[in-house]
């Protein structure tokens, strides 16, 4: 405030001196007053503009300090000049994403702890039973313990694949492969299980050229996962069909069953990590990993289903990856 007053006094004095030097001494006072009022009005307007600018900036800075302390729920009002409104909107979007990422991290830790607890508890209980003489120390008990270690190993491998996918460093060993042949191999490997369950498992292709660069082991893993899930939810006397077809810039694979189907809320979460349906026996990572593998190839996965009618899971693989 002192600086503003001194500046006005200086401007009035300068105006007075200039008017007097120009021979307009009689008009020096009115001119000086007009200049003083004009300068004051400009100063007031400038000060108001600065306050409108400084207030949103101060709010963003204070909110940023709260985010730095771990408060991801903070939001700022989106007001002020357009550039500041855009800044506040970007800040709110950033904090919302940080809050979601923090929630997902907490949920992931809880889910991992839950999934690891079951096989570890089984191992601990059986080992204590062996030590206490509750269980006989024979090959059958050892085989059961070994199976639990396999469950743990598969879970750890799945978690590693998920972590690599999140980091964007999931390694693919690409080579020219016939997608139709990969589908045929996957169907053949599960044909005995389908026959045992009295499920008709068939495949066909309408693709003109199904040869493309993929990681055959990873794609085979995806196909096996989809077919295993389909068999799990398809009753005796029903059918599973796999179709390989041309898609825009690539190949599409549809795995369709005539099984029990799913409600819309289940379809919406089918690719979520650790999401398990009523009859799921795994950790709920299979479809999430399958989608991550397809995404690493530059493709995508979708699902559609109707209760009592069946489910279709489709994946697309582009011929050119958008790296």
- Its CATH class, for the domain covering 175-318, is alpha beta
CB 216 within 8 A of CB 182: yes
Domain chopping of the chain, boundaries: 2-71, 107-167, 175-318
CB 315 within 8 A of CB 252: yes
Cα–Cα distance for residue pair 117/172, rounded to 1 Å: 31
Cα–Cα distance for residue pair 250/32, rounded to 1 Å: 79
Cα–Cα distance for residue pair 76/85, rounded to 1 Å: 10
Q: What is the mean pLDDT of residues 307-317?
A: 91
User: Could you tell me if residue 106 is left (phi over 0), alpha (psi between -120 and 50 degrees) or otherwise beta?
Assistant: alpha
**Tens digits of per-residue pLDDT, 137-165?**
888 888 888 888 887 887 788 778 877 77
Q: Look at 24 and 293; give whichever has higher pLDDT.
A: 293
Please tell me the predicted confidence (pLDDT) of residue 253. Answer: 96
Query: Residue 240 above 90 pLDDT?
Result: yes
Residues 6+ apart with CB under 8 A from 16: 28, 29, 32
Options 2.60.40, 1.10.10, 1.20.120, 1.10.287; which CATH number does 107-167 get?
1.10.287
Q: Is 170 helix (H, G, I), strand (E, B) or coil?
A: coil
DSSP 8-state symbol, 259: S
Do 107-167 and 175-318 share a fold?
Answer: no
Please tell me the predicted confidence (pLDDT) of residue 311. Answer: 92
Q: What is the mean pLDDT of residues 183-205?
A: 94
Structure tokens at 145: 């313990």
Query: Residue 27 above 50 pLDDT?
Result: no
Q: Nearest 5°: phi and psi at 204? A: -155, 165
Confidence of residue 52 (pLDDT cuts 50, 70, 90): low
Please tell me the predicted confidence (pLDDT) of residue 132. Answer: 85
**Tens digits of per-residue pLDDT, 271-296?**
887 766 666 666 677 888 899 999 99
User: Could you tell me if residue 6 is left (phi over 0), alpha (psi between -120 and 50 degrees) or otherwise beta?
Assistant: alpha
Query: Residue 94 above 60 pLDDT?
Result: yes
What is this structure's pTM? 0.62
Please report, for residues 44, 46, 47, 248, the alpha-carbon distance to residue 32 in angstroms, rounded to integers and kept in the order given: 18, 21, 22, 77
């Amino acid at each position: 405030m002192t600086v503003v007053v001194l500046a006005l006094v200086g401007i009035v004095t300068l105006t007075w001196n200039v008017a007097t030097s120009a021979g307009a001494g009689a008009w020096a006072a009115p001119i000086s007053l007009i200049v003083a009022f004009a300068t004051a009005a400009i100063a007031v307007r400038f000060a108001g503009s600065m306050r409108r600018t400084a207030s949103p900036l101060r709010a963003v800075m204070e909110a940023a300090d709260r985010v730095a302390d771990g408060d991801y729920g903070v939001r700022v009002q989106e007001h002020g000049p357009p550039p500041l409104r855009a800044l506040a909107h970007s800040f709110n979007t950033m904090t919302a994403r940080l809050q979601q990422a923090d929630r997902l991290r907490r949920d992931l830790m809880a889910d991992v702890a839950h999934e690891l607890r079951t096989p570890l508890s089984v191992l601990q209980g059986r080992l204590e039973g062996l030590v206490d003489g509750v269980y006989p120390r024979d090959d059958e008990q050892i085989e059961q313990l070994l199976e639990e270690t396999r469950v743990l190993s598969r879970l750890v491998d799945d978690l590693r694949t998920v972590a690599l996918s999140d980091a964007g460093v999931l390694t693919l060993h690409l080579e020219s492969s016939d997608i139709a042949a990969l589908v045929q191999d996957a169907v053949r490997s599960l044909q005995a299980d389908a026959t045992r369950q009295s499920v008709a498992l068939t495949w066909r292709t309408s693709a003109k050229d199904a040869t493309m660069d993929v990681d055959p082991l990873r794609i085979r893993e995806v196909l096996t996962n989809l077919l295993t899930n389909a068999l799990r939810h398809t009753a005796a006397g029903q059918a599973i069909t796999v179709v390989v077809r041309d898609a825009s810039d690539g190949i599409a694979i549809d795995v369709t069953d005539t099984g029990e189907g799913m409600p819309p809320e289940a379809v919406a979460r089918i690719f979520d990590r650790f999401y398990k349906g009523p009859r799921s026996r795994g950790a709920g990572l299979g479809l999430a990993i399958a989608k991550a593998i397809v995404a690493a190839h530059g493709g995508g996965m979708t699902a559609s289903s109707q209760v009592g009618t069946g489910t279709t899971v489709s994946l697309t693989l582009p011929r050119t990856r958008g790296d």
